[in-house]
Amino acid sequence: QVQLVESGGGLVQAGGSLRLSCVASGLTLSTYTMGWFRQGPGKEREFVKGSSWSYPDSVKGRFITSRDNAKNTVFLQMNSLEPEDTGVYYCAVRQGALIRSTWEDYDYWGQGTQVTVAS
């Protein structure tokens, strides 16, 4: 059974940093393409980050992804956080080499972790 479990969310002041983790079981993350999504209060879910070369404008230069294949874990380092970054963050994986920005293009999703940025 495939499971993705996010952690690392919490409450942080604007300008602060958080590192989210996504641990996978039931699959080998290194063979999948990763995506991070978020959903803010009253907002639609949006794609946030793919691999190192994917930079949506809203997080460009502030969010960085990395992997630890030995731990079957991916990370989302979030710096210079802004109140607009508040939301539930989800990791997702899909087979294939192409990054997609649509939720439905992914095969598995985590349960999400709450990030709250106070002004």
Tokens at residue 65, please? 């992804």
What tens digit of pLDDT does each residue of 61-116 get?
899 988 899 999 999 999 999 999 999 999 999 998 888 889 999 999 999 999 99
4: Cβ–Cβ under 8 A, 6 or more apart, which residues?
A: 22, 23, 24, 91, 92, 93, 108, 109, 110, 111
Tokens at residue 108, please? 């598995």
What integer best gives the mean pLDDT of the chain? 92
**Structure confidence at residue 56 (pLDDT):** 67
Strand order in the sheet with 3-7: 3-7, 18-25, 73-78, 63-68
**Structure confidence at residue 54 (pLDDT):** 58
Residue predicted with more confidence, 53 or 56: 56
Band (pLDDT 50/70/90 cuts) for residue 57 is confident
Q: What integer is the mean pLDDT of 46-68?
A: 79
Q: Which amino acid is at 21?
A: S
**Side-chain half-sphere CA neighbours of 115 within 13 A:** 31
Cβ-contact 16, 70 below 8 angstroms: no
**Structure confidence at residue 50 (pLDDT):** 76
